Every structure is written in C-alpha cells, then in structure tokens.
A and B are shown apart, each in its own frame.
Chain A
C-alpha cells in the first residue's frame, strides 16, 4: 500500500478508535483465534476427527464396553482441556469437573493421566436427577472448560432421571454453546433388546451429541508373557467434521504413568 493510502487508513482508524474505543477495530493479526477443540492426545484420532480434537461447546459421546479405554481417553482429554490455549495471554490453568455417579474415580490414576487435581472438581451426586441438575449448574457457572459425566448407564438406572435427562438434552446443548464448555459422556454398549427390556432405549443422546466415538478393545499388548499395554480401535460413529465409519487405533502402555505411544 502506498504512503498516502497508508496515512489515510491510519487516520481513519485513529478517528474510529477515538470515537468508539481502541477495541472497535483491530488488525487481523492481533485477533486471537478461539480454542474450539480439545485435543484427545492421540495423533491419529485427532487427525481422523478432522478438527484436531473433540469439540468445545458440544456433547461428545464415548461408548464402549468396560476395558475399552474410554475413561482413560477421557482423562487424557480432560488434561488437555485444563491447559490454557496456546494463543492465550495468561497461563491460568482451566478447571474441569467429573460427575462421578459410580463413585469409582481413582485420584491416583487421574493424576497419572496428567490432570491437575487442584483444578479438578469431583462431584458425587446421590441421585440421577441431582446429577442432571448439578450438571446444568456447572455448565451455567462458566468456570469449567470441560465436564465428564461418568456414566450414562448409572444415570439410567433411574427411569425418571433418564427421561428427565433426555428432555433436558436440547437445553444442555444450548447452554454448552453459550458457555463454550465441553461435555463428555460415557456410555456402555448394550444390545438394543437389552435396552428395550430395561426401558432405557433412547436415541436422544446420539441425536444431540456432536461427536460419537465407539471404542473397541483390539488386543492386549504383551511382552515376555507380561501385560504391557492395551490397543483399542476408535470408530467414528457420528461427527460434524469428518466422515463417519473411520477407525483410529490407540495404544496405551502401562508404566506407572499413562501415556500413548504415538503422541507424547
């Protein structure tokens, strides 16, 4: 741009800023992009998800049988959610919360996954309805970057709570969008006829989730007869950013800290 045009531009900007304040017009290079995703910590999975991680401001559903690594994966995501965005000026650690309906969280394991216990709120609701109300309040507080609901089957043991949750899901989605918080829900895989029998069959959560990943155990990793780790497949069942049906492989090694082979 030539000098006269530059001067005119500067003059116009100055006039606007004087009238409306310094923040009314800012050069694009100064605009900090918002963090819209949280990395899972597994490179292959992040690539497959299309956006580099699970979405903030939306529901992510991880389903799979017990021992499918869904909780470990979620803890790694919570650890990432605690870290401030690389473009943020301050280095303040974000807070996350776990709604532990089964009362089975192990702080030792949580710490080994890298989560800062000082910025973790552990909630142990007594009833399903209480859990849902607390979830709404936590999202509304705008103080948490991610919340884990562990797990949906524990919530659905009470049919009233299950119906209440399905009814509230759309509102929770709107709240999440407004507050920028990520909600991760864990679900056990059950045969459809079992769900029908138990009266818990519902597709509401699948409908409202922005991302649905099913984890399946592939194999144990053994070395010299000893169990050294675990390999699982992550099947993308629903995603707004990528084609469903894709599969990523994640491997976790057991060595007193929890980390993935390929990422860290």
Chain B
C-alpha cells in the first residue's frame, strides 16, 4: 500500500483567522451549533480551553479568549474545495476530519522517491487554494496510521516520508496519544510508565491481549507500523428521501417527531454499522392549506446518535411556526460522513460496566481495594476455588 495523509493543522481556526486577520495570534475558540466549543487555537489550548467545553467554561479558563460562532456553511465550502483539490488527481480520497484526508497512491507510486514530487505538487495546490497560513502538513507511508503519525510530526508546508524499513524506528519515540485510545486506557498505560509507541510495542502480546483484548493487539500492530486498513473513498450515494403521510393531518409535533424517527431508525442503524453518521438532514414539511416549510439540520461532525438527533429535530419542530396541520413530511439524508472518533476508537467500552468501574474506582480511592468483579475461568474445574477469579476494580483497572 501507499498512503498519503494530508492534514491542515487547526483547519477551522485557520479559516476563521483568515476571515479576521486581527485574530491571528490570539486565543480563539469557535462555538458550534450546540453552543459547545468545536475548535480551539493553540494559544487558547495552552490556557486550558478544550473542545466540547461550554462558552462559560472556556471564559473561566481563559478570560481573553475570543469566542465566535463557527460559520458552518463557509467551512463546508472550504472543506469541499479541499477534498475536491485532492480528488482532482483521480485517486481514491478518504476524508478523515476537517482539513484532513488520506489519498491512496498505490496506483501511481510506491517508494519515497516516486511519491515525493506527487506530494509536493498536492501540497502546493492546497496552499494555492487555502493560502499560506493554511499550508498542509503531509505524511506518507505504506499504512494509514504511520502516514497519519508522519503528517502529525511534519510542520505545515513540509512533508515527512517514511520508508517501510524505517517505520519502527520512526514510530518508536512517538507518544501513545497518537493511538486512538480512550482516556482510561491512556491513563492506565501512563501509570505503568508506558508513554511511547515503542514501549507499548515491546509489551508482551499476551499481556496486551489479556488487558485490552483484540483491539489492544491491533493497536500493538499499528505501533510497529503494521496497519492494513485500506483507504476507503468517501464518495457514495445518499439514501433516497423518506416520505411520511399523515392521515388525518396532525397538529401534534410529538407525532411528527415519532414518525420521523420511526422512519429514520433503520437508516441510522445501517449508518452506525458502517461507522458513518449524518452531516446534513433535511425535513420538508407540507401543511394542509398548501404551504411548505424546510428544516435543515446540519452537524459539524457526523452524528448517528439517535438521542442527539431527536433533540435537534424536536427543537427545530418546536420553533417552527405551523400554519396549519401537517400533511406530509419528507426526510432526506443530504450528506453522510464517516464517524471519525468512532472509526478510530479501538476500545469499545460498555457504558454500564464502565460506570460500575468508575463507581468502584471512586470508592476505592476512599476505602481501598475492597471492590471486585468476578469472572468465571473454568466452570467445570473439579476444585471450586479454581472455577473463578476476582479482579480488583481499582484505579488502574479498565477492562475487568
């Protein structure tokens, strides 16, 4: 394989600063449609502002922070242009997140020497499109993870090409935070003194498997540069619109909401199975007396969580003035995207178990190691005490 990772660092912040040059160098945070921070500039990050914080929390961390709403439509346009520029070469492009994408160069180049001019040309085109402050950082390798790590290490306007033979040496000193690990797993590894990919790779495979399961084994392979994931092109046909007729016409928003989600549920399940989510949902409402209204729900990051979608659609239905009773409702999934965090997350955490583990950890801080979870090891063992084991649920336990 031959994968190029093209990444524009702080893409959304860069676009906002390009719009308002006076914000350059200032701590800047962009607010999404849900009133939470969507993007943070490096200056604000240093002051402790983080993504998903509320505006108030951000201001408490950094009183000088400049808060501005995210101009979603403008960002979408730039993102489409960015992806379009990469796709002009006719090669498969997989969008990763805002300002980041993978390009599959398998068909055109397989070695660093051949890849370099192609990468340089792509970099120049992106810089021409977005401007010098938004220069991309490029990374190339035979696998997606190492290419992503290489682009993370490269400075904007530069490229880092990693040959197959150099993969391990390159990845060894890099931080384990590059792996898509959930926070508890990272904390656990740091507590054990494992901070680099090299250290993680050198752990016994059986121990990693026991602790983290198959996902841990996969992470270990990535840590030594063995990532066999293909580049999946993100161009695909959106599903057909779903039309719901109300007979008799209804004035109840609840009914419209339930009908919408009853129709959407199978599609959302299909998207979740493919690790995809909705970016743009359109609702066309036609009322009994002939009028029509359109509701557009646009999400900064793809969403497939039904609860969140329901809250958004319910809010939109509430604030809309209904001229008469609703006769027909048409639901169109206009844009679908990859669920970036879910796609990269290796460690599935069962919420209920994790909350039990969380509870046990809090209580063990106060009372000591008195909290256990039992596991059957051999149901048929002749000795009763060897049929099961007790695992202590304490600070360092993640998956017990």
Contact = CB atoms under 8 A, between A and B. Distances in A.
A120 interface: yes
A125 B366 CA distance: 12
Contacts of B387: 107-108
Nearest to A141: B359
Given A108-B376, A110-B374, A122-B374, A22 B318 contact: yes
A93 interface: yes
Contact of A120 (B250, B251, B373): B373
B384 interface: yes
Interface in B332-360: 350-353, 355-356, 359-360
A22 B251 contact: no
Nearest to B257: A22
B273 interface: no
A133 interface: yes
Contacts of A126: 368, 370
Interface string A119-141: 11111111000100110011001
Given A22-B257, A126-B370, A141-B359, A118 B350 contact: yes
A105 B393 CA distance: 17
Interface in B163-200: none
A207 B390 CA distance: 36
B372 A123 contact: yes
B270 interface: no
A110 B388 CA distance: 11
A131 to B, nearest CB: 9
Nearest to B389: A107
A122 B372 CA distance: 5
Nearest to B385: A106
Interface stretch (A9-17, A194-202, A213-221): A9-17
Interface in B183-232: none
Interface in B253-279: 253-254, 257
Contacts of B251: 10-11, 14
Interface residues of A, number: 36
Contacts of A95: 352, 355-356
Contacts of B393: 121
A122 B390 contact: yes
B314 interface: yes
Nearest to A27: B254
A18 interface: yes
B105 to A, nearest CB: 44
Interface string B375-400: 11001000010011010010000000
A108 B384 contact: yes
Nearest to A21: B318
Contacts of A123: 370-372
A92 B322 contact: no
Nearest to B258: A30
A125 B376 contact: no
Contacts of A124: 370, 372
Contact of A92 (B252, B352, B368, B384): B352
B103 to A, nearest CB: 41
A242 interface: no
B122 interface: no
A204 interface: no
A117 interface: yes
A143 interface: yes
B363 interface: yes
Interface string A72-100: 00000000000000000000111100000
A108 B254 contact: no
A66 B363 CA distance: 31
Contacts of B384: 106, 108
A113 to B, nearest CB: 13
A108 B356 contact: no
Contact of B388 (A10, A26, A108): A108
Nearest to A130: B367
A141 B388 CA distance: 28
Contacts of B351: 92
A129 to B, nearest CB: 11
Contact of A107 (B257, B318, B371, B374): B374
B373 A118 contact: yes
A116 to B, nearest CB: 10
A118 B371 CA distance: 13
Contacts of A122: 371-374, 390
Contacts of B254: 17, 22, 26
A111 interface: yes
Interface in B236-255: 250-254
Given A10-B251, A14-B322, A22-B253, A117 B355 contact: no
Contacts of B367: 125, 130, 133-134
19 contacts: A14-B322, A17-B253, A22-B254, A92-B351, A94-B352, A95-B352, A106-B388, A107-B374, A108-B387, A111-B374, A118-B353, A119-B353, A121-B371, A122-B374, A122-B390, A125-B370, A134-B367, A138-B359, A143-B359
Given A108-B387, A130-B367, 12 more contacts: A14-B251, A22-B254, A92-B352, A105-B374, A107-B390, A111-B388, A118-B350, A121-B371, A121-B372, A121-B373, A122-B371, A122-B390
Interface of A: 10-11, 13-14, 17-18, 21-22, 26, 92-95, 105-108, 110-111, 117-126, 130, 133-134, 137-138, 141, 143
| Closest CB pairs A-B (n = 3) | A107-B374, A107-B388, A122-B372
